[in-house]
Chain A
Amino acid sequence: MTDNNDPRPPGFETLAIHAGAAPDEKTGARNVPIYQTTAYVFDDADHAASLFNLQTFGYIYSRLTNPTVSALEEKVAALENGRAAVACSTGHAAQMLAMYVLMNPGDNFVASRNLYGGSITQFSHAFKKFGWNVNFVDPADPENFRDAIDENTKAIFLEVLANPGGIIIDLEPVAAIARDAGIPLIVDNTMATPYLCRPFDWGADLITHSMTKFLGGHGTSMGGIVVESGKFDWAQNDKFPSMTEPDPAYHGLTFYETFGDFGFSTKAKAVALRDLGPTLAPQNAFNIITGIESLPVRMDRHLQNAQAVAEFLEGHPAVAWVSYAGLKSSPYRELAQKYLPKGPGSVFTFGVKGGYEAGVKVVESVELLSHLANLGDTRSLIIHPASTTHRQLTEDQQIASGAGPDVIRISVGLETIDDLLADLDQALGYATAKAGD
């Protein structure tokens, strides 16, 4: 497929299977081998020097790069239609690596307040220790992002399909605001996956993922990744000295000039990953590669089941409301049709009549759905965010981020739909009957 005159790129399903995963040249192994090694032998001292100077491509030490991990990076970069990617141990690590390249002490970034609770905590508390500040805004009006930007702002961060569920951000105007300010728009695409939404097509500059979720898909392996579009001009202003000025940690190398449209990824690997150390294990990279191969067919079924579950819940007498952008009742339906035309994912929230107590009862009464803190598994998962994932937030923050006391989040898996509906029906009936007594 490579030796032709056709600039048409391969389709998504082809990329999911083949991108980054050509046969191993030495052995002919058709699948990507698990390179379970910490280090790599140098040809000679000159080769070693070239590698340490980043003058040639190759492996030094698995804290920075590993062939199994690289195969995964190329695959996700291809699926996002990006230039390059940096994989790491978790989605949280991906956020840290991205910000480490962009931020200096005293800098800030503007973030949507509709985020995974763990991200809100990471941004509010852990990042503060690095001297990085965050301003949370209500993403419903894109102009709120513009109003929060000041001269020390280095990025905008949002989840396009927002956790805990049902909310979709209008990407295009936010991308325009970031462009006007000369700063990158970072989109976390964990909940949508590139199969449902490709944020670079709408003007995003960097994408983060928790690959632990739909990309891996099986709930077996933690992983995170940062993808760069390759289109952001780091030299348009003086906001990003770590890209445009000689780096003392690399003998005066200037990353943007030397590595161009993959300069951000190179910096994130050669400095952020090297010095902070949240490396992805090769075994986990392999598991996630295997998961991604079936991403398109899994997502189709996730969508089909999610739509059926959402419609069932909306008609259930024990349910107060359902927030799923695939429903006619959702105020986000139009945005969903624009940004996620195949469907708005399979994670969403609903409210049980009876508030906090009833919410807790529902998650304690399910027998097929699993009560745990994850999403994007083959298994259907259920959680009460106010008592778990969003527990560290104040009640105001919980409500603002869509995780109020009566909210239940569901991640609809791939089981037989009738079994899912039956389990939810019995749990809802039990929880609300008790609450009503």
Chain B
Amino acid sequence: MSELYYPDWQIRRILRDVNTVAMVGASTNWNRPSYFAMKYMQDKGFRVIPVNPGSAGQTLLGEEVVASLKDITVPVDMVDIFQRSERVPPVVDEAIEIGAKVIWMQLTVRHDEAAKKAEDAGLTVIMDRCPKIEFARLSGELGWSGINTKVITSRRSRQIRA
């Protein structure tokens, strides 16, 4: 498989412009990676709607968990997929159907065919990345943990969202 490369400006724009995120595969267990990501993104001003048929109807970090993307009653800007790669295609079909603008597949999640379909439908697709990590990387917070952000800048502000 070819190496994925997304320029920083593209990631930065997505994280600046997106407001409502549907998180498919959000877990109600506090020590699961999706829970970490949801809590962090809420802190950064995103509204995150958890999607998980197994815990539909429960409340997770102040939001009601829904069973599928089609159960969401507000416009969704981005669908963040916490699922194994082989389970991506039907999620992408639903994301196109509900009019999402961005599909974001988490670290280790990649499905080139589904991505192509989404891009042909006019959506932007990011694969094998984590929006929490990318937000922290570009805003400088990731460096607080001694992680190589690969960001070299002489500018003062690295703020992503106003």
* A interface residues (Cβ-Cβ under 8 A, vs B): 1-5, 7, 9-10, 14-15, 18-20, 22-25, 28, 50, 53-59, 65, 67, 69-71, 73-74, 77-78, 82-87, 246, 251-254, 257-258, 260, 262, 265-266, 269
Contact = CB atoms under 8 A, between A and B. Distances in A.
B36 A258 contact: yes
A84 B146 contact: yes
Contacts of A2: 8-9, 138, 151-153
A155 B61 CA distance: 41
Contacts of A269: 145-146
Nearest to B37: A55
Given A9-B150, A50-B39, 18 more contacts: A4-B7, A5-B7, A20-B143, A22-B140, A22-B153, A22-B154, A23-B154, A25-B157, A53-B31, A55-B39, A56-B39, A58-B141, A70-B145, A74-B147, A77-B148, A84-B147, A246-B31, A262-B147
Residue of B150, B153, B159 with highest tally of chain A CB at under 10 A: B150
B156 A28 contact: yes
A265 B147 contact: yes
A5 B7 CA distance: 5
Contacts of B8: 2-4
Interface in B68-120: 107-108
A4 B35 CA distance: 32
A55 B108 CA distance: 20
Contacts of B45: none
Given A3-B8, A7-B5, A258-B33, A57 B152 contact: no
A14 B157 CA distance: 20
User: What is the interface of chain A mostly: helix, strand, loop, or mixed?
Assistant: loop
A198 to B, nearest CB: 13
Contacts of B138: 2
A250 B84 CA distance: 26
8 contacts: A5-B7, A5-B9, A22-B140, A23-B153, A25-B157, A77-B148, A87-B146, A258-B33
Contacts of B108: 260
Given A3-B8, A22-B158, A78 B148 contact: yes
B154 A82 contact: no
A20 B30 CA distance: 31
B152 A10 contact: yes
B136 interface: yes
A20 B108 CA distance: 26
Contacts of B144: 57-59, 65, 67, 70
Nearest to A83: B148
Contact of A57 (B142, B148, B154, B155): B142
Nearest to A26: B156
Contacts of B136: 57
B131 to A, nearest CB: 14
B55 interface: no
B149 interface: yes
B146 A260 contact: no
A47 to B, nearest CB: 8
Contact of A14 (B33, B142, B148, B152): B152
A54 B107 CA distance: 18
Nearest to A230: B148
B12 interface: yes
Interface centre among A22, A69, A78, A269 (most CB of B within 10 A): A22
Nearest to B142: A57
A253 B150 CA distance: 27
Given A15-B152, A25-B158, A86 B146 contact: yes
A25 B140 contact: yes
Contacts of B151: 2, 22
B36 A3 contact: no
A397 to B, nearest CB: 35
Interface in B8-50: 8-9, 12, 30-31, 33, 35-36, 39-40, 43
Contacts of B33: 257-258
A246 B32 CA distance: 11
Contacts of A266: 145
A82 B150 CA distance: 10
A258 B35 CA distance: 10
A19 B156 contact: no
A257 B159 CA distance: 28
Contacts of B9: 2-5
A56 B153 contact: no
A253 B31 contact: yes
Contacts of A265: 145-147
